[in-house]
Amino acid sequence: MEELTLGIEEEYQIIDPETRELTSFVQQFLKEGRIFFKDDDVKPELLQSQIEVGSRVCKDIKELRQEVIRLRSMVAEVADKNNRKIIAAGTHPLSHWSDQIVTDQSRYIQTLSDLKHLARRLLIFGMHLHVGIPDNNLRIDILNQIRYFLPHILALSTSSPFWIGRNTGLKSYRSVIFEDLPRTGIPEYFESYGAYERHVNILVKTGSIENATKIWWDVRPHPKFPTIEIRICDCVTRIDDVVAIAAQQFVMVLKDV
């Protein structure tokens, strides 16, 4: 069996430290940080008050921890130089989604056109773990088995009880906002990778989606890379918790391989 690999993506908030509100600063952020960032370290997101980081491919949890520290330190340094702060949590407690500016890229403009109000409300911040599994059918088998544990994984990561100044009474309001989109939530059971491909092809042929990147389940075979992507987590505040939750998911996958 080939050794499994790991990767992580996190979506951070860009904050004005004086007002403590979100600030639409991602374009300036990327320009200022170009000498620090490499490859796909950092990318914009739907709204300009968000910034996404992506790790290099890691061989184990120790490497993953080093990557999370590297990426968080890097974006925090660029933010500090521009009188901004970076926050890791699933929602901002105060800022309103209607005040945020959509990133001027065709991908996001199309998303706004397709989903309108639902897209405008996506002021949420998540964490995605990738586990590299080259075998297509094995990825589907693990997807089927890990579905049961998704609520447990979410419970470990919750960091979004507040929404536009209100205590929602929920630990993860981010997940509630995200569930309003189509093709989200826990996926159905698939007998094989071929069955999954047929499912995607039906959605494409009926005009429901353009391609598999428009499927946003809480766990999915990544549409471009040979990984299973676990997407249910809130963005987690503490590095120790990020690493612990990632390790727990990795161990679950290892048990199923």
Ordered by start, the domain boundaries in the chain are 5-256
* Tens of pLDDT, residues 145-169: 999 999 999 999 999 999 999 999 9
| Residue 45 near residue 52 (C-beta atoms within 8 A) | yes
List beta partners, residue 85: 15
pLDDT number for residue 31: 80
Q: What letter would DSSP give residue 224?
A: S
Task: Pinpoint the alpha helices (H) of 170-238.
Answer: 173-179, 193-205
What is the number of alpha carbons within 13 Å of residue 216 lying toward its C-beta? 13
pLDDT number for residue 22: 97
| Residue 223 near residue 212 (C-beta atoms within 8 A) | yes
* Tens of pLDDT, residues 66-122: 999 999 999 999 999 999 999 999 999 999 999 999 998 898 999 999 999 999 999
* Tens of pLDDT, residues 200-216: 999 999 999 999 999 99
The model carries a pTM of 0.94
pLDDT number for residue 35: 63
CA–CA distance, 237 with 95 (Å, rounded to integer): 18
pLDDT number for residue 203: 96
CA nearest to 230, candidates 118, 145, 135, 119: 145
Choose which CATH entry (3.40.50.1100, 3.30.590.20, 3.90.75.20, 3.90.79.10) describes domain 5-256: 3.30.590.20
- Bridge-based pairing state of the strands 85-87 and 166-167: unpaired
Write the single-letter amino acid at 236.
V
Write the single-letter amino acid at 227.
T
**Strand ranges in 139-187 using DSSP code E only, listed in sequence order:** 162-163, 166-167
Q: What residues contact 162, with CB distance under 8 A and at least 6 apart?
A: 91, 92, 93, 94, 168, 173
Summary count for the chain: helices (H), strands (E): 9, 9
* Tens of pLDDT, residues 18-74: 999 999 988 887 887 666 677 678 999 999 999 999 999 999 999 999 999 999 999
pLDDT number for residue 242: 97
| Residue 80 near residue 32 (C-beta atoms within 8 A) | no
